[in-house]
Amino acid sequence: MTLAPLPRLIVEPLVRNALVEDLGLAGDVTSTAVIPADHRSRVAMVTRQPGVVAGLDASELAFQLVDPAIAMTRHVPDGAKVGVGDVIATIEGPSRGLLTAERTALNFLGHLSGIASVTGSIVEAIAGTKASIVCTRKTTPGLRALEKYAVRAGGGMNHRFALYDAVLIKDNHVAIAGGIAEAIRRAKAGVGHMVKIEVEVDTLVQLREAMQEGVDAVLLDNMTPDQLREAVDIVGGRAITEASGRITPAMAAAIAASGVDLISVGWLTHSAPTLDIGLDWKAAA
């Protein structure tokens, strides 16, 4: 699957806001005081640990928005696996601008590469099965587009992007509607024919009820591998099956072996550790 970049129209406002947060009203007082205005440098983005790269567009934009005279040369693309000491990119230009944009550029790159890296680890854990790893809406407010992109860079897929692009009937919807069947009927009556409907179930009894009403997908929440296998048999290919609930790389293979189509993992975006990437000064340019 080709990794399509996010449009600049989406990425630039996020990077710009991060820079405004860092620069405030006075700008980078340290670099302005310490570094001569005409000084130029060449630096390298270097990995401190192995992982998968994501976020190069956001990182490059951070430098360019601070100073358009800064040029970044990429040595690997987003989605590439890297080892310790690999050079991801070299950046050259006015030293003040390089230092001013450094932290914002590395924050984006490290955070998104961290998401791509943990996604890659769980994708590897289920290799050879038909299941795909998908993310959730458990994202950092304002950064969802970038974080879901990072999941794709790591080899995963995206679940619904937000509340507007699919129906996902969960336990509280069911409770308020008065039952699974009634919630599904209301959803079908309330959305257009292009909107997919998924329903979350905790038991096989609920699953059978949902399948009687007809849905596009079922979210099988916190089920054991044995329960998931039975659920897949009940569905019989009539809907997409999705396993969810505190799934770790250690248990992912057993869950994938049950025959489910998707495994959704919230911690890919809400708890992924940052990939350690540094900016090493090489020489005056």
Which of the residues are catalytic? 103, 138, 170, 200, 221
Taking the CA atoms of 262, 267, 270 and 276 in sequence, report the sign of the dihedral they define.
Answer: negative
CA atoms of 135 and 151, how far apart (whole Å):
7
DSSP string, 53-108: ---HHHHHHHHHHH-TT-EEEESS-TT-EE-TT-EEEEEEEEHHHHHHHHHHHHHH
- Residues near 50 by Cβ (< 8 Å), separated by ≥ 6? 81, 82, 83, 84, 117
Max Cα–Cα distance, the chain, nearest Å:
72
Q: What does the block give as tokens for 35?
A: 């570094």
Strands 240-244 and 167-169: unpaired
